C-alpha cells in the first residue's frame, strides 16, 4: 500500500466557538497545551487507508495518533440458517481488542458494548433494503487503544463499508469530546479520558447533516452540551472530507 | 482528462443533482425530504438520457461502480448452481455465479418439483432430472424463505449444463432428457439445458 502525498491536510480542527460566550479565564484555558502538543480544540492527525485486508469484501485501516484500528467487511452474504426471513438486510458488528492493545488487560472495555454501539451508529447509514435476506458482517479489530476508540472504530467501519461497495446513505464520521472542569477537550487520548468528568460522542452523516448516534456520559449543563455538539459536528464535517479524499485516492491508485 | 474524472468521482452521500432534474439510477437514491439525488456508492457519476418512449423527460444519473459489492441473487437473475441434494420433491443447490460474476460466498437455492420443467409438472421425477454434483443454469424465482432462494429450470435454456457420469467422465447431452458418457456409452437421465442457437 504505497502512500501518496495528498494536498489536503490530514489534521482537522473545528472552528472555535469562543465568539459566543467568553469563558472565565482559569489556569487551564484554551491556551492549555495538552501532553501531545495539541490545543484543546485540535484533533489528532488522521491516517486512513482502504483495502488493507485482501480477503474481505472491503476493509480499512485508521490511525489517529496512538489509536490504531483495522476493520474488515464481509458481505452481503447468506444469513445463518437459524435467522428468520427478513425483507431488509441485516448488519452484524463485532469489535474485539487484541491482547496487546492496552497496557494492561483490565483497561480493555467490554467488547459486547462496543459492538452494539457500533451497530447503532452504522445501521442508520446503510441502505438495508438494497440487500434483502442477506447479512453484512463488520469486524473491527483494535490494534492499539490510544483513547477515543469508538469514534475511530466507527469512522474506520464506515470507510470499510464504502470500500466494500455496500450502498450507504452517507459516510459516517464520529468524534468525541471530553469534559474536564470547565474545559472541553476534543478527541481525548486515554490519559485524558481517565480523568474526564464527562464525555460526549457524536456520530453523524456530514453531507446530509444528520446525527446517527449521540452518547453522553457524566455531568453536563445544557450550554456545555450545545458547545460540545457544535465542536463535534464541525470536526465531523472536516473528518468527512478527509474520508472522501482517502476514498478518492485509493480509487485512483490501484493496489497491487 | 484527469480533472474531469476527478470531478465526476463521487463517494456515498455526495449530491448528484436535484430530484426535479434527474432520476436516480443505480448507485443513487432520492432523499424525500429535500428532494435531492445523492450517491450511495463510490464510483463515477454518469448521466444517461431518458429512453425515447418514456413520458418522464428527466435523464437518469447513476454511479458506475468503481467497486460494487459481490453479486447477490435477485428475482429474475440467471444463476449457475451446483446440485447438492436430490430429494423426492425438491433438489437443493449451491448458487455459485449470478449472471456472469461469481459470488464470494455461496448462497443456497432449491428447485422444487413443480419448477423443474414447464410441462407435466406433477409427473416430474427428481432423480431423473438432477443428480448431486450437476452444474445447472437456473432462474431465480423469488427470495424464497429464510433458508434458500427458489430456483426454476422450466425453460429450454435452463437445466443441467454439465454433469459427470457414474464412471467419472463428463457427459455429452444427446436429447432434452438424456446425457451420455463418452467413455462407457452409458446413458443417464437429466433435465438438459439447450445451449446455443
Are B69 and A76 a contacting pair, CB within 8 Å? Answer: yes
Q: Report the complex ipTM.
A: 0.84
Looking at the predicted structure, is the pLDDT value of residue B134 above 90? Answer: yes
Where do the domains of chain A lie, and which CATH numbers do they carry? 12-252 (3.30.230.70)
Mutate to test the interface with B, among A6, A48, A55, A77 (most CBs of B within 10 A): A77
Within 10 angstroms of residue B194's Cβ, the number of other Cβ atoms is: 12
Pairwise pLDDT comparison (B187 vs B65), residue with the higher score: B187
The Cα–Cα gap between B172 and B176 comes to 12
Rounded to two decimals, the pTM is 0.85
What tens digit of pLDDT does each residue of A24-71 get?
A: 334 455 567 888 888 888 889 999 999 988 899 999 999 999 999 999
The predicted model gives A207-222 an average pLDDT of 90
Residues of B with CB under 8 A from a CB of A: 6, 9, 11-15, 27, 29, 31, 38, 40-42, 65-70, 72, 104-108, 143, 145-147
Are A229 and A221 a contacting pair, CB within 8 Å? Answer: no
Given the C-alpha cell 437473475, which residue does it identify?
B77
Backbone phi and psi for residue B134, each to the nearest 5 degrees, phi listed first:
-70, 145
At residue B175, the pLDDT reads 92
State which of A167-171, A182-186, B59-63, B193-197 shows the largest mean pLDDT. Answer: A167-171
Of A117, A128, A133, A142, nearest to A203 by C-alpha is: A117
At residue B26, the pLDDT reads 86
* Residues 93-132 in A contacting B (C-alpha not used; CB under 8 Å): 127, 130-132
> Residue B60: helix, strand or coil by DSSP?
strand
Residue ranges of E strands in A127-231: 134-144, 173-180, 183-186, 198-205, 210-218
Catalogue the long-range contacts made by B186-192 (C-beta closer than 8 Å, 24 or more residues apart): B188/B131, B188/B163, B189/B128, B189/B129, B190/B128, B190/B129, B190/B130, B190/B131, B190/B134, B190/B159, B190/B160, B190/B163, B191/B116, B191/B117, B191/B129, B191/B130, B191/B153, B191/B159, B191/B160, B192/B159, B192/B160
Amino acid at each position: 500500500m504505497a502512500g501518496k502525498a495528498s494536498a489536503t491536510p490530514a489534521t482537522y480542527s473545528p472552528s472555535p466557538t469562543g465568539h459566543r460566550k467568553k469563558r472565565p479565564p482559569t489556569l487551564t484555558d484554551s491556551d492549555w497545551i495538552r501532553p501531545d502538543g495539541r490545543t484543546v480544540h485540535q484533533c489528532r492527525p488522521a491516517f486512513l487507508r482502504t483495502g488493507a485486508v485482501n480477503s474481505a469484501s472491503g476493509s480499512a485501516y485508521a490511525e489517529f495518533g496512538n489509536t490504531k484500528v483495522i476493520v474488515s467487511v464481509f458481505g452481503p452474504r447468506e444469513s445463518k440458517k437459524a435467522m428468520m426471513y427478513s425483507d431488509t438486510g441485516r448488519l452484524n458488528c463485532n469489535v474485539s481488542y487484541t491482547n496487546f492493545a492496552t497496557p494492561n488487560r483490565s483497561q480493555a472495555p467490554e467488547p459486547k458494548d462496543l459492538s452494539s454501539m457500533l451497530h447503532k451508529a452504522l445501521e442508520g447509514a446503510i441502505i438495508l433494503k438494497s440487500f434483502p435476506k442477506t447479512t453484512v458482517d463488520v469486524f473491527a479489530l483494535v490494534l492499539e487503544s490510544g483513547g477515543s476508540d469508538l469514534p475511530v472504530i466507527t469512522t474506520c467501519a464506515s470507510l470499510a463499508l464504502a470500500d466494500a461497495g455496500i450502498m450507504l446513505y452517507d459516510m459516517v464520521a464520529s468524534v468525541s469530546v471530553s469534559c474536564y472542569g470547565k474545559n472541553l477537550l476534543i478527541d481525548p487520548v486515554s490519559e485524558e479520558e481517565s480523568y474526564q468528568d464527562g464525555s460526549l460522542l457524536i456520530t453523524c452523516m456530514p453531507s446530509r447533516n444528520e446525527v446517527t448516534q449521540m452518547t453522553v456520559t457524566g455531568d453536563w449543563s445544557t450550554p456545555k452540551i450545545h458547545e460540545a455538539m457544535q465542536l463535534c459536528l464541525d470536526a465531523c464535517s472536516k473528518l468527512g472530507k478527509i474520508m472522501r479524499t482517502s476514498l478518492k485516492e485509493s480509487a485512483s491508485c490501484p493496489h497491487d | 482528462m484527469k480533472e474531469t474524472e476527478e470531478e465526476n468521482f463521487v463517494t456515498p452521500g455526495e449530491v448528484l443533482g436535484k430530484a426535479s432534474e434527474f432520476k436516480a439510477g443505480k448507485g443513487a437514491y432520492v432523499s424525500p425530504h429535500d428532494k435531492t439525488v445523492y450517491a450511495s456508492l463510490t464510483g463515477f457519476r454518469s448521466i444517461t438520457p431518458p429512453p425515447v418512449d418514456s413520458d418522464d423527460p428527466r435523464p437518469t444519473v447513476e454511479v458506475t461502480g468503481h467497486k460494487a459489492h459481490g453479486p447477490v441473487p435477485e428475482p429474475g437473475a440467471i444463476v449457475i448452481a451446483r446440485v447438492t441434494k436430490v430429494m423426492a420433491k425438491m433438489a437443493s443447490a449451491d448458487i455459485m455465479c449470478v449472471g456472469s460474476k461469481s459470488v464470494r460466498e455461496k448462497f443456497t437455492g432449491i428447485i422444487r418439483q413443480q419448477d423443474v420443467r414447464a410441462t407435466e409438472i406433477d409427473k416430474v421425477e427428481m432423480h431423473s432430472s438432477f443428480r448431486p454434483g450437476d452444474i445447472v443454469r437456473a432462474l431465480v424465482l423469488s427470495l424464497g424463505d429464510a433458508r434458500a432462494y427458489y430456483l426454476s429450470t422450466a425453460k429450454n435454456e435452463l437445466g443441467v449444463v454439465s454433469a459427470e457420469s457414474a464412471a467419472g467422465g463428463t457427459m455429452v447431452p444427446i436429447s432434452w432428457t438424456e446425457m451420455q458418457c463418452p467413455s462407457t456409452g452409458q446413458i443417464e437421465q437429466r433435465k438438459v439445458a439447450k445451449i446455443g442457437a
